[in-house]
Amino acid sequence: MTDSSQRLAELRSGIDELDAQLIDILAKRSALTSKVGEIKAETGMPVYVPEREVALIDKLRAQAIQAGISPDLAEDLMRRIMRDSYHTQNNRYQGVNPKTGNVVVIGGRGALGRVFVSLFERSDYDVDVIEKDDWQSGHAERVLANAALVVVAVPITLTETVISQLTALPEECVLADITSIKSKPLKAMLAAHSGPVVGLHPMFGPDAPGMIKQVVVVCHGRAPDAYQWLIEQMRIWGATIHESSAEEHDQAMAYIQVMRHFNTFVYGAHLKGENPDLDTLTVFSSPIYRLELAMVGRLFAQAPELYADIIFNNPDNVALLRRFHERFGVALDILERGDKKAFIKQFLEIGGWFGDYAKMCLVDSKQLLLKADDGQMLRK
């Protein structure tokens, strides 16, 4: 063994020793945060307290600087550790109103329905689930007759049909839905049920391991006092509540979801049509392009019906997309003329419209792209 390879071996065994200590600290920390979780569940304290998180991170950054290591490193590590402790160590939550009576989740075995069922159960509510077959067997009718809260969590195409059947709920029962559009379901709920009604849109997919740090949009329907407890319950689960009218919500969704999904769909169709070699493309891609390609690819690993429902749901979408198509044509004409000046002028005008947000996007996405690099993600 040469001198330098011996020194290297010694250094590496020292590093391995420190890594083992790191695992040990993580295990001990996890045991302590579990206990914190238990106390919070008993006393009904919120799981996610933004101020406590900020204070903890600030303190850690200061310690890192003092120890001569990167404060960004310390912060990134701590945020990752916190995610874990939020999601794996909160098996129970305080129930705000567990004695209210039965919570019925229609579609409670579906991807997002299951998240709600689990959250209610872990907060001491009695939960019933209604699935397709339960309507004929009489099970649905039985549990609905006792319901204190009914949550409609069925696919978007079925939402209105299912709601139209909920005409015999107890007068005091709260009726809610979690569809990603809000105007139509809210109207349908108000028509079917004369008691309290509220439209919810949890702004996260079933991938999310819970409701912590997630936004839930609340569109009030009728008798908000009767479902105030439900909103409180979601806050305890860690959600940020954003109140909105159903119309404002649906309009924002058209920009956000429909534009992106449709454009991504066409981009996929374009790639298939041009038929480049995907291996070559990913080899030639830097992290940002791999990420963008992955955003296209991921769409097609999912159920087409879901996206068809979102895109075809609203006839206004066609007009919005037509305007995008026209703008694409105008930009193409600029390109075909070779008019760089016009391109740059428009570019700067758009930048002005984005304002400071553009810079923020650049900074934030830079951090995220570095993280994508860590794991050598998104390479084929």
Neighbours of 74 (CB within 10 A): 19
Burial (CB count <10 Å: 0-12, 13-18, 19+), residue 296: middle
Q: Select the residue interacting with a copy of itself from 111, 158, 223, 259 (CB under 8 A).
A: 259
- Tell whether residue 361 is a contact of a copy of itself (CB under 8 A): yes
Beta strands 215-222; 174-177: pairing state: unpaired
Q: Is residue 246 close enough to count as binding a copy of itself by CB under 8 A?
A: no
371 counts as binding a copy of itself under rule CB under 8 A: yes
Among 102, 214, 228, 245, binds a copy of itself (CB under 8 A): 214
For residue 243, state whether it binds a copy of itself (rule: CB under 8 A). no
- Site map 134..153 versus a copy of itself, x via CB under 8 A: --------------------
Residue with tokens 């374009």: 270
Using CB under 8 A, which residues numbered 272 to 331 contact a copy of itself?
272-276, 278, 280-281, 283-289, 291-302, 304-305, 307-308, 311-312, 317-318, 320-325, 327-329, 331
Say if CB 106 and CB 153 are below 8 A apart: yes
Give least dist CB 338 to a copy of itself, A: 6
Q: Looking at beta carbons only, is 168 or 360 nearer to a copy of itself?
A: 360
* 93: contact with a copy of itself by CB under 8 A: no
> Alpha helices of the chain — where are they, by DSSP H?
3-43, 50-67, 71-88, 111-121, 134-137, 139-145, 159-164, 183-192, 228-236, 246-253, 259-274, 278-283, 287-299, 304-312, 316-337, 340-354, 356-374
Of these, 74, 150, 176, 189, which contacts a copy of itself (CB under 8 A)?
A: 74
Q: Which of 27, 51, 136, 138 is close enough to bind a copy of itself by CB under 8 A?
A: 27
Q: Does 1 bind a copy of itself (CB under 8 A)?
A: no
DSSP β-bridge partners for residue 197: 175, 222
Q: Could you give the CA distance from residue 282 to residue 278 in angstroms, rounded to a whole number?
A: 6
The token pair at 232 is: 């409180």
5 vs 61: CA distance, rounded Å:
35
Residues in region 48-67 near a copy of itself by CB under 8 A: 56, 59-60, 63-64, 67
Q: Quick check: 183 binds a copy of itself (CB under 8 A)? A: no
Least Cα distance to 380 among 260, 293, 263, 250 occurs for 293
- Of residues 190-209, those binding a copy of itself (CB under 8 A): 203-205, 207-208
Check residue 270 for interaction with a copy of itself (CB under 8 A).
Answer: yes
Choosing from 49, 58, 77, 316, the residue that interacts with a copy of itself (CB under 8 A) is 77
DSSP state of 70: -
In the bound state with a copy of itself, the residue whose beta carbon lies nearer, of 114 and 139, is 114
Q: Which helix (H) or strand (E) holds 215?
A: strand 215-222
Nearer Cβ to a copy of itself (76/126): 76
Which token pair is 307? 């996206």
Shortest Cβ distance from residue 140 to a copy of itself (Å)? 28
Among 169, 192, 249, 310, indicate the residue that binds a copy of itself (CB under 8 A).
249
Q: Rank residues 19 and 141 by Cβ distance to a copy of itself and give the closer one.
A: 19
215 forms bridges with which residues in the sheet? 240
* The one segment of 99-107, 165-173, 222-230, 358-366 that binds a copy of itself by CB under 8 A: 358-366
**Token pair for residue 86?**
């939020």
State the DSSP code for 131.
-
